[in-house]
Amino acid sequence: VEVRDAILSDTHGGELEIVVPTTGIWGTAGVGGNNLDKNSPDFAKYERVRRATERVDRVVKLAEDESVALLKVDVEGFEPQVLRGCRDLLLADRVDHIIMEYSPGVAVNNADFKAGEMNAAMLLGLLQQGYSLFNLHWHVPFLGWTAPLPPLEEIRAASLVYDASDMILAQEGRMGCPPEGLEQEMSKRMYACNTLPWGCHPFSYFASFRHNTNVWAARTRPGVKLLGDALVPGVNLTADLSHRYDIFTDTSVGLVRCGKIKAKDLPRNRCPCTHEDCRDVESALRQLGAKGLLEPAFVQPPLEQYRIRNW
């Protein structure tokens, strides 16, 4: 085991600072303190550690017939930079498996939507390199080292393009805005533009969890039973979003339970209205749906830029 006195990044020889909490959850320590509450009175008291940066592909030296069996990354939202620092190894197909915490919520909480885009770009780049991606829920139990793999959800480009689109739109203040055509009073009762994660695209991967989750990337596709796509439960990519707003029945974006929220909040969470308090908004949305005007904003992300060779 080798422990290095450096910070992994996509640069080599630079310098970064890690902010380490001295109270609360120590595991939220990270580059720039981005996963910490910067408004906390304790933030100024936290320990700062500055170190030189290193790239994985400059540090890891492999024999001609060797590969990295497993790369484990859990760095509080800094995963894209660490993976970019593995660029040469990934391009050479020298990393067999990657297990990472995937935390787009860190960038979103800091309103750093360019960094949010980098999260989706990282996964899309791995897919374009030939990796298979699977969602690892926090609640998946450990069954033992010799137990067969449990059924898993697959993360596909067909959903990740919506993650990237959301972050591109958020950089312009146009993500998840109320449907055009709603009267002003009705629009005020929907989520405002850039309300994340609640307003993210229903087809996005980010919609299926809150803040963060875990991802397994396998260079050789494993023989694992699939539960389907990693989406909000009950949703598939063929749902008609132009004509219907209330596409969720039980669970909405960010794991919001339709049966656990106030009636007035049901329409903006795309849940069926079950109370008189939301009938007027529901009626207005249905009128727009009859005209096919409910499709959420989407822009085609620059997939070529996301390829690992362009990192």
pLDDT for 58-90, tens place per residue?
A: 999 999 999 999 999 999 999 999 999 999 999
Per the domain annotation, does 38 fall within a domain?
yes
Based on the fold, state whether residues 157 and 16 are members of the same structural domain.
no
79 within 8 A of 102, measured Cβ to Cβ: yes
pTM score of the predicted model:
0.95
Q: Which spans in the chain are helix H?
A: 56-59, 79-84, 87-91, 104-109, 113-128, 157-171, 184-187, 279-290, 303-306
Based on the fold, state whether residues 127 and 184 are members of the same structural domain.
yes
Based on the fold, state whether residues 206 and 189 are members of the same structural domain.
yes
Per the domain annotation, does 279 fall within a domain?
no
**Cβ atoms within 10 A of the Cβ of 141, count?**
7
Based on the fold, state whether residues 127 and 144 are members of the same structural domain.
yes
| pLDDT over threshold 80, residue 24 | no
Structure tokens, 307? 């390829």
Q: What's the mean pLDDT in 269-274?
A: 95
The distance of Cα 155 from the centroid of its chain, to the nearest Å, equals 11
Mean of pLDDT over the chain: 95
Based on the fold, state whether residues 74 and 162 are members of the same structural domain.
yes
Structure tokens, 70? 């497993």
Q: What's the mean pLDDT in 28-36?
A: 90
Per the domain annotation, does 276 fall within a domain?
no
How many domains does the chain divide into? 2
**Residue keyed to tokens 């996964």:** 123
Based on the fold, state whether residues 207 and 78 are members of the same structural domain.
yes
Domain range enclosing 32: 1-54
**Residue keyed to tokens 């749906």:** 289
